[in-house]
Amino acid sequence: MNNTRPLTGILQEIADIQTMERGKLSIIKESASGPFYKLQARENGKNETRYIPREQVPAVQEALAGYQRFENLTEEYARQVITSTRATLAAGLKKKPATRKSISLKRKKSSA
């Protein structure tokens, strides 16, 4: 039994993700008033650190989960398209390339 979802359903789920953030959220220090947080992520080839206020932690956690969901969905989408492509190729239904008309590169002799 085929357990795959329609590709349009996967694309709709991707479109429904409202917030995304990359990286790892960590507690950098505990204090009497509560923990201090940082978010680390690779941006433009560098490790970037942003300090996150406590009141923003739930929103950042939700955005991190949104990005993880996006990653999972795009992987599923790619897996389905690759499987379909391989099945098409294996069945010999590959599109034939457009035929090219031969063009002569010989120059006409000038009549002088």
- Whether 38 and 51 have beta carbons less than 8 Å apart is answered as yes
Average pLDDT over residues 11-36: 96
pLDDT tens digits along 60-83 = 999 999 999 999 999 999 999 999
- With residue 22 as reference, give the H or E element that holds it: none
**What is the value of pTM for the model shown?**
0.74
Strands 34-43 and 46-52: antiparallel
| Structural tokens at position 100 | 């090219």
Question: pLDDT class for 29, splitting at 50, 70, 90?
Answer: very high
Q: Three-state SS for 51?
A: strand
Residue-level pLDDT at 104: 58
Cα dihedral across residues 108, 109, 111, 112: positive or negative: positive
pLDDT tens digits along 87-99 = 988 888 655 555 6
5 pLDDT more than 60: yes
